[in-house]
Structure 1
């Protein structure tokens, strides 16, 4: 008899599977790139230094040695609204994972109904209720459990957990972008202060020259034309100073907004004291293409997006198979209230509920096609992000190395221009040099000084850009910690299911 029941069960399962809708030949078309197959070129070659460079630290901006910058970034990480939005998306993804987890667990609920109705004279209800109005009452505790024989709910939960990782990585992306924007704005603020100082220094020299010119005019050694030409060169310097003041105010307002504060907070920002001590950041870590997958949050987010899309395909495939739920109930049911909650009115029962897709193949195949296409999109997004990440590192390093060369070349030009201005100033004061020579030397020196500070500012910005390109201290462990609670719950659920499936 037991053997017959076994053959009957197998026959039923075979019949159910045979009646399932056809999946068609729907398969993914995209292929995920292997980072090790991408050639980074000369720029990404391993450094010849005896000690390979380290990956950026999480607080990489401390390399600038400016306490005020550290304080601004700390405030921004606590108060910036955009960052709070990204963090809320992580919590939202965790809540969705909790919903997916609930589908893998038994569901228990209670229901009650009390209906006064007219019973048919030709139904199963006997007299005196038949043909009369009476109360029909029912209260019961009901339980359902999806056996999940094809892993549909488990795959949906796994996909939801991957979505938590995607959201956590994207939150880290928002954090790094915020840090980078603050550093860049802060570097520009420092540059504007320095440029303003240079123009003020030039103005001071120009006013001294103007004083000498007036003395020479009084002594009959110069003309009104000479004095007028020199006076005309002063107002443009005042305009430049005002322009730098404007830029300083705007940058303070921008930094205040980035930290989640109003313009009044920007007024308290003092002059930066940036000093990037070393150019060791021009060296790159070893095994860059492969390690970059785990070091950049955007690449990691796209990779986990591929994992989530892959599991959603399995969910779509499982929809083609029979869905088998176990159902049970216990409670009381009666006509009238006199014996409603007595033992004579008790009800109980259990049994399976089976739903089988047969003529719904078109919708299910379309659903599978949608998720398969989403997987292809996720794979190509990952591939594109990986390629862009390598290009970003190579291009940023190229700019940084070029700026180092530009600075070295400009150092010599700046020394020559400074020497020429000093000689022209001494000659003009002694009456041996025409003021146009002095004027030209000052213009040349100011141009070289501005070039120098702009190169220095660009070097500091390129340092920030390279830190961002290398992931800014991000590590997969941060995302794993964010999704830890959801993963622990999933593991407990899987353990319970395995115990339930054991004979």
Structure 2
């Protein structure tokens, strides 16, 4: 245990240096930050007036948007995204890494303190004149504490902290973007699988009907009521439909495996029972407020990266100014072990250094130009994100409008094809037409039914993509 005493002039100089450092720490080279402007239309094309301009807002709440489809199986699958999806877990780790960088940069505000204990033995050359210990071996016992602190005179540390915070916020927005993307991919794959189940049921029913018709025709051929061409046509139709039915199984398995990967489960252990019931696409209001674009995490991340790039300009500016380093050390040192821990063995030092670079061949200037260029690039990325966001919303609004008309038209075509099949079958039974006409009518009816289901699946997909383009839940 020991105490330190300093002369009053030394104390005054040290306190003065600390006060000056504290006052100068109010200076900053960080350029004032303003969110970049972006050209945003007042409303979407083809929608009602009243849409307002949008800006990124990564703090806006994002709910479980998939519940608007009212499918409990989908809800259970979506709940596993946050827990088991490896892409989401990686994004979570990246957020934690970015937050640790904030702590790392923030540590620059406090002094660095080191401590150590050492024992050395040194032999001095005997052939050196003027040394009282020449030719002798001298031990040295020491223990001490040293501290150094660099006051943030021109905001270099604060700018670094601001940049790290902006990067962390961008990583958090990236995480939200990954969650939104993974949940949207899962919903699209799930609805695609449901569509395949519907088509599978349709093809299974058709195979059964065609097989029954073939058996009837084969009996009629034995009875001599028809010729072999009708049986050949029915056989070709049955086998072609069976081929389509088998192909549905292959595609469904691949879709099921994709869903398993998204929820973090091995494909070999995951199954979804077939469900051929129809799923209705939710009616998304035409007047969806454009404020929901504020929920897009990619726009929020792009804006935060602009702020981070702005902070790096401040760091580059601070390099043109000198650095002040305050240091202090104290400890005990002795050649002999016995008096090592006594007051006469005390040593201490206080010091300060103000140093700056006078010439570096243009390195700092080049760094500043690079930081400015990086900022300009981040602004361009932000504006591009806004443009892409509006494009995606417009694309899916247009797709939903077109698919609505297409579905209505296809329904009329399906109804007409079913009526044509019924009338043609009646005429064949009456002997007015050949079985080729029946096969043709059956093929047309089956094709129209499958097309109607595919349009319904596309409507569901466009609905998911629209919600994704809006950044999440569009409901109140």
- TM-score (normalizing by structure 2): 0.85
Structure 2 residue 297 is matched with structure 1 residue 285: no
Equivalences for residues 75-474 of structure 1 within 5 A: 75-119=80-124, 127=132, 129=133, 132-271=136-275, 275-276=279-280, 278-279=282-283, 281-288=284-291, 292=293, 294-360=294-360, 362-473=362-473
**Closer/same/farther in 2, CA of residues 348 and 376 from structure 1, 3 Å limit:** same
- Per the TM alignment, residue 277 of structure 1 is displaced from its structure 2 partner at its CA by 5.5
Structure 2 residue 42 is matched with structure 1 residue 42: no
**Closer/same/farther in 2, CA of residues 473 and 164 from structure 1, 3 Å limit:** farther
Matched residue, 1:52: none
Query: Which deviations, in whole Å up to 9, do the C-alpha atoms of 1:88-122 show, x marking residues without a partner?
Result: 11111111111111111222221233222245899
Say whether the 8 Å CA contact 2:198–2:275 is kept in structure 1. Answer: no
Match of 1:35, SS state, is coil
Matched residue, 2:57: none
2:221 and 2:437 map into 1 onto residues whose CA distance is 18
- Per the TM alignment, residue 310 of structure 1 is displaced from its structure 2 partner at its CA by 0.3
- TM-score (normalizing by structure 1): 0.80
Match of 1:58, SS state, is coil
Say whether the 8 Å CA contact 1:150–1:318 is kept in structure 2. Answer: yes
2:72 and 2:103 map into 1 onto residues whose CA distance is 42
Match of 2:349, SS state, is strand
Query: Which deviates further from its counterpart, 59-68 or 458-467?
Result: 59-68
Say whether the 8 Å CA contact 1:108–1:144 is kept in structure 2. Answer: yes
CA RMSD of aligned residues (A): 3.1
Say whether the 8 Å CA contact 1:152–1:318 is kept in structure 2. Answer: yes
- Per the TM alignment, residue 351 of structure 1 is displaced from its structure 2 partner at its CA by 2.5
1:139 and 1:347 map into 2 onto residues whose CA distance is 10
Match of 1:252, SS state, is helix
Q: Which structure is higher in RCO with an 8 Å CA cutoff and minimum separation 6?
A: 1
Unaligned runs of 5+ in 1: 18-22, 49-54, 475-503
Say whether the 8 Å CA contact 1:43–1:394 is kept in structure 2. Answer: no
Say whether the 8 Å CA contact 2:115–2:146 is kept in structure 1. Answer: yes
1:56 and 1:46 map into 2 onto residues whose CA distance is 25
Say whether the 8 Å CA contact 1:282–1:397 is kept in structure 2. Answer: no
Match of 2:264, SS state, is coil
Match of 2:279, SS state, is coil
**Closer/same/farther in 2, CA of residues 274 and 162 from structure 1, 3 Å limit:** farther
2:261 and 2:336 map into 1 onto residues whose CA distance is 69
1:398 and 1:438 map into 2 onto residues whose CA distance is 38
**Closer/same/farther in 2, CA of residues 37 and 471 from structure 1, 3 Å limit:** closer
- Per the TM alignment, residue 270 of structure 1 is displaced from its structure 2 partner at its CA by 4.2
**Closer/same/farther in 2, CA of residues 364 and 73 from structure 1, 3 Å limit:** same
- Per the TM alignment, residue 136 of structure 1 is displaced from its structure 2 partner at its CA by 2.7
Query: Which deviations, in whole Å up to 9, do the C-alpha atoms of 1:402-427 show, x marking residues without a partner?
Result: 11111111121111111111222233
- Per the TM alignment, residue 237 of structure 1 is displaced from its structure 2 partner at its CA by 1.0
- Per the TM alignment, residue 431 of structure 1 is displaced from its structure 2 partner at its CA by 3.5
- Per the TM alignment, residue 303 of structure 1 is displaced from its structure 2 partner at its CA by 0.4
Query: Which deviations, in whole Å up to 9, do the C-alpha atoms of 1:419-471 show, x marking residues without a partner?
Result: 11122223333434432222121111111111110010000000110111011
1:473 and 1:231 map into 2 onto residues whose CA distance is 51
Equivalences for residues 8-19 of structure 1 within 5 A: none
**Closer/same/farther in 2, CA of residues 64 and 274 from structure 1, 3 Å limit:** farther
1:130 and 1:45 map into 2 onto residues whose CA distance is 97
Match of 1:233, SS state, is helix
- Greater share of helix residues, 1 or 2? 1
2:83 and 2:274 map into 1 onto residues whose CA distance is 21
Match of 1:103, SS state, is helix
Say whether the 8 Å CA contact 1:65–1:274 is kept in structure 2. Answer: no
Say whether the 8 Å CA contact 2:117–2:143 is kept in structure 1. Answer: yes
Query: Which deviations, in whole Å up to 9, do the C-alpha atoms of 1:240-277 show, x marking residues without a partner?
Result: 11111111111111111111111233234443656235
Unaligned runs of 5+ in 2: 1-8, 52-59
Matched residue, 1:71: 76
1:75 and 1:217 map into 2 onto residues whose CA distance is 58
Query: Which deviates further from its counterpart, 260-269 or 38-47?
Result: 38-47
- Per the TM alignment, residue 131 of structure 1 is displaced from its structure 2 partner at its CA by 5.5
Say whether the 8 Å CA contact 2:150–2:325 is kept in structure 1. Answer: yes
Query: Which deviations, in whole Å up to 9, do the C-alpha atoms of 1:344-398 show, x marking residues without a partner?
Result: 1112232212221111252211222222221122111111111111111111111
- Per the TM alignment, residue 301 of structure 1 is displaced from its structure 2 partner at its CA by 0.4
